[in-house]
């Protein structure tokens, strides 16, 4: 019986010097991603809210550009700065932007709150993609990655209707983009489960949530 062949995961990593833009790079998942990217000698630019950059500044060597993904003009301005820094190209764009609010059943949900969550999660994904595509077309083996959620596939808790709808929309936006941009730009989505971040601690701290998710099952 032969031993299973080992897999050299290092060979799957992007080449040193790969230019990566991380939208939402100052959050919990974003900071972990940026640290991993730096460990593999990637070039990184972070886009995030000015307040987030101030509270969780990126490490040395990472350029931070203030950008509110709710505002189209700010996204255009941020991507113009990326264009200037890297000569009109980037090799990968990772979108971690998205949020929800306090748990509210749809029958009690104000339309303004629905619009806000859809804008901050789904509309922002569209705007960021649209502005990133020209830079990615000029990049090396370019890739566009959006973060969805398990809520976009299966809704396990009541009260997250707009967030679940937005994340499901992100998944189908990714499918549309993958069809439109192939074979030049690879487009994928990842759908994390529960991750121990300020987002989870602040937005899903109800007793029902603590019953359903064991602390040992939280990604860190």
> What integer pLDDT is reported at residue 151 of this predicted model?
85
> What integer pLDDT is reported at residue 208 of this predicted model?
34
* Percent of the chain's residues with pLDDT above 70: 82
The residues, any chain, with a CB within 8 Å of residue 120's CB and separated by 6 or more, are 69, 70, 97, 98, 99, 166
> What integer pLDDT is reported at residue 70 of this predicted model?
95
Out of 7-16, 48-57, 93-102, 158-167, least confident range? 7-16
Residue in 99, 126, 160, 163 annotated catalytic: 163
Q: Is the predicted pLDDT of residue 112 greater than 60, yes or no?
A: yes
Q: Is 99 a catalytic residue?
A: no
* Percent of the chain's residues with pLDDT above 90: 74
In the chain, the domains with their CATH numbers are 15-217 (3.40.50.720)
Q: Is the predicted pLDDT of residue 16 greater than 90, yes or no?
A: yes
Contact 154, 103 (CB under 8 A): no
The residues, any chain, with a CB within 8 Å of residue 17's CB and separated by 6 or more, are 41, 42, 43
pLDDT tier, 4 (very low <50, low <70, confident <90, very high otherwise): low
> What integer pLDDT is reported at residue 215 of this predicted model?
34
> What integer pLDDT is reported at residue 13 of this predicted model?
75
The model's pLDDT over 125-159, given as tens digits with 9 standing for 90+, comes to 999 999 999 999 999 999 999 999 888 888 878 99
What is the number of other CB atoms lying within 10 angstroms of the CB of residue 78?
Answer: 23
Mean local confidence (pLDDT), 24-52: 96
pLDDT tier, 2 (very low <50, low <70, confident <90, very high otherwise): low
Q: Is the predicted pLDDT of residue 42 greater than 90, yes or no?
A: yes
d(CA 76, CA 127): 9
The model's pLDDT over 173-209, given as tens digits with 9 standing for 90+, comes to 999 999 999 999 999 999 876 544 444 444 443 333 3
């Amino acid at each position: 019986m032969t031993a299973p062949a080992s897999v050299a995961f290092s060979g799957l990593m992007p080449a040193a010097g790969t230019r990566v833009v991380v939208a939402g790079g100052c959050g919990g998942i974003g900071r972990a991603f940026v640290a991993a990217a730096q460990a593999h000698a990637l070039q990184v630019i972070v886009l995030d809210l000015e307040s987030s950059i101030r509270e969780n500044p990126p490490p040395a060597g990472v350029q931070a550009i203030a950008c509110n993904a709710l505002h189209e003009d700010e996204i255009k301005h941020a991507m113009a700065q990326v264009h200037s820094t890297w000569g009109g190209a980037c090799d990968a764009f990772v979108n971690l932007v998205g949020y929800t609010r306090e748990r509210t059943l749809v029958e009690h949900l104000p339309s303004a709150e629905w619009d806000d969550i859809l804008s901050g999660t789904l509309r922002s994904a569209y705007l960021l993609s649209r502005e990133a595509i020209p830079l990615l077309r000029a990049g090396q083996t370019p890739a566009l990655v959006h973060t969805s959620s398990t809520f976009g596939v299966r809704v396990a808790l009541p009260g997250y209707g707009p967030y679940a709808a937005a994340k499901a929309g992100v998944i189908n936006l990714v499918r549309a983009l993958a069809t439109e941009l192939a074979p030049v730009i690879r487009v994928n989505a990842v759908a994390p489960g529960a991750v121990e971040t300020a987002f989870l601690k602040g937005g899903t701290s109800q007793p029902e949530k603590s019953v359903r998710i064991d602390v040992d099952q939280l990604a860190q």
